[in-house]
C-alpha cells in the first residue's frame, strides 16, 4: 500500500494513483476482525453457520441471533460490524418484498445477491457515505417446482411459465458472498471473518463441486469448520448458531429455519470429538520430539 499516508485513504470513493479505493480496503479490515461465518451449498439445501464470541457471561445463551431470514426461503449472515449486518438484512427484506410486489413470486437467491451487490457497491461511490463493514453470505433455495403465484386463481397454463425449456432443471440451492466493495460471487462453500483461512482450507477438502454432500452432512461439516476455525483463539468462549434451508421434500420444506436443537447438539458433539482427535495427534508429535532430544 504505497499510497498510505499520502491522502488517498482519507475519503471514500477516491482513487489512489494505482486505482484502489483505500476506504473499501479498510472496511475489509473490519470484516477480518469479525466472528467467522460459513455457508455450505449441499445437493439438497444450504447451511449457514456463525461463530458468536461470548464477550460477557451476562449475555443470554441462544439470544442475540446473527443469522436472519429474508422472505421465507433465504437466509443471510455476515462477519464484521454487526449493525451494518442488520442494515444489510433490512434492505434485503425490502428488496425481497418489493420483488414480490412487482413479480408476484419469491425472489431467487441470484437476483437478491445481485441487488444487494449493487446496494453495497453504491456505498463506494460517494464521499458522503462509508462502505459496509461486512462481508455477507446469502443462502437460499429456489423452488424446483412451479410455485403458484401469490393470490393466483386457477391452475394456469398446463405447459408451465413462458421461457422455460423442457428437460432443463430450474431452481435449487444458491449461495453467494458479498464483500464491502459490492463484489459478489456464487460459491459452493463460503467463509469470512477471522477464521476464514482455516475455514476455507477445510471447505476445499470437502469437494463441494461434486454436489454429493447431503444437507445433514453439511450441517455437521459446518459445525466442525466453525469449531476448527475457532481453535486459533481458544481463550475466548463462543456459541454456534446454525440455520438451514432444504428443498421442498426436505426437513424445512424450502423454508429458512434454525437447525433443530437435537441436530445442532449432535453436530457440535461430533465437532468437539473431531477436534479432540486432532489435538491428540498434535500432542503426540512433540512427545516424540522430546524423546529424540533425550
Find the shortest distance in angstroms from Cβ 73 to another protein: 10
Number of neighbours of residue 122 by Cβ within 10 angstroms: 12
Find the shortest distance in angstroms from Cβ 178 to another protein: 20
Q: Does the footprint of another protein cover residue 93 (CB under 8 A)?
A: yes
Cα–Cα distance for residue pair 219/120, rounded to 1 Å:
29
> Which of 44, 51, 71, 202 is the binder for another protein (CB under 8 A)?
71
Total number of residues binding another protein (CB under 8 A)?
A: 15
104: helix, coil or strand? coil
Find the shortest distance in angstroms from Cβ 136 to another protein: 17
Spatial strand order of the sheet with 45-53 comes to: 189-192, 37-42, 45-53, 238-246, 256-258
Q: Which is nearer to another protein, 102 or 165 (CB)?
A: 102
C-alpha closest to that of 96 among 75, 122, 67, 66: 75
Contact 255, 226 (CB under 8 A): no
Contact 192, 31 (CB under 8 A): yes
Find the shortest distance in angstroms from Cβ 152 to another protein: 8
Number of neighbours of residue 214 by Cβ within 10 angstroms: 13
Q: Which helix (H) or strand (E) is 101 found in, with range?
A: helix 82-103
Contacting another protein within 112-151 (CB under 8 A): 150-151
CA angle at 182 for the pair 219 and 204, rounded to the nearest 5°: 35
* Segments in 104-247 forming alpha helices (H): 109-122, 196-205, 215-230
Q: Which is nearer to another protein, 47 or 92 (CB)?
A: 92
- The stretch near another protein (CB under 8 A) out of 64-72, 189-197, 205-213, 285-293 is 64-72
Q: Which is nearer to another protein, 56 or 155 (CB)?
A: 155
Q: Which is nearer to another protein, 91 or 200 (CB)?
A: 91
> Which of 29, 104, 212, 236 is the binder for another protein (CB under 8 A)?
104
Find the shortest distance in angstroms from Cβ 62 to another protein: 10
Q: Which is nearer to another protein, 150 or 207 (CB)?
A: 150
Q: Does the footprint of another protein cover residue 152 (CB under 8 A)?
A: yes
Contact 98, 104 (CB under 8 A): no
Q: Does the footprint of another protein cover residue 87 (CB under 8 A)?
A: no
- Binding residues for another protein (CB under 8 A): 65, 68-69, 71-72, 93, 97, 100, 104, 150-155
Amino acid at each position: 500500500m504505497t499510497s498510505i499516508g499520502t491522502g488517498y485513504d482519507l475519503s471514500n470513493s477516491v482513487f489512489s494513483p494505482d486505482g484502489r479505493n483505500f476506504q473499501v480496503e479498510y472496511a475489509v479490515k473490519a470484516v477480518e476482525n469479525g466472528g467467522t461465518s460459513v455457508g455450505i451449498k449441499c445437493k439438497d439445501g444450504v447451511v449457514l453457520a456463525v461463530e458468536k464470541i461470548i464477550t460477557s457471561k451476562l449475555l443470554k445463551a441462544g439470544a442475540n441471533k446473527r443469522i436472519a431470514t429474508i422472505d421465507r426461503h433465504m437466509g443471510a449472515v455476515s462477519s464484521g460490524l454487526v449493525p451494518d449486518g442488520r442494515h444489510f438484512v433490512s434492505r434485503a427484506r425490502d428488496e425481497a418484498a418489493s420483488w414480490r410486489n412487482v413479480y408476484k413470486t419469491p425472489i431467487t437467491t441470484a437476483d437478491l445477491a445481485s441487488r444487494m451487490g449493487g446496494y453495497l457497491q453504491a456505498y463506494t461511490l460517494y464521499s458522503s457515505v462509508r462502505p459496509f463493514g461486512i462481508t455477507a453470505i446469502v443462502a437460499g433455495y429456489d423452488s424446483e417446482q412451479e410455485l403458484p403465484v401469490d393470490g393466483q386463481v386457477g391452475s394456469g397454463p398446463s405447459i408451465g411459465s413462458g421461457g422455460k425449456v423442457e428437460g432443463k432443471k430450474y431452481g435449487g440451492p444458491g449461495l453467494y458472498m458479498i464483500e464491502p466493495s459490492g463484489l459478489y460471487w456464487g460459491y459452493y462453500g463460503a467463509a469470512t471473518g477471522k477464521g476464514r483461512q482455516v475455514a476455507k482450507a477445510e471447505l476445499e477438502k470437502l469437494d463441494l463441486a461434486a454436489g454429493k454432500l447431503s444437507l445433514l452432512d453439511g450441517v455437521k461439516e459446518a459445525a466442525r469448520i466453525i469449531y476448527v476455525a475457532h481453535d486459533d483463539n481458544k481463550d475466548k468462549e463462543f456459541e454456534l448458531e446454525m440455520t438451514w434451508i432444504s428443498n421442498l421434500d426436505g426437513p424445512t420444506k424450502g423454508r429458512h429455519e434454525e437447525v433443530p436443537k437435537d441436530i445442532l447438539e449432535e453436530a457440535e458433539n461430533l465437532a468437539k470429538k473431531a477436534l479432540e482427535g486432532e489435538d491428540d495427534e498434535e500432542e503426540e508429535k512433540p512427545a516424540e520430539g522430546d524423546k529424540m532430544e533425550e
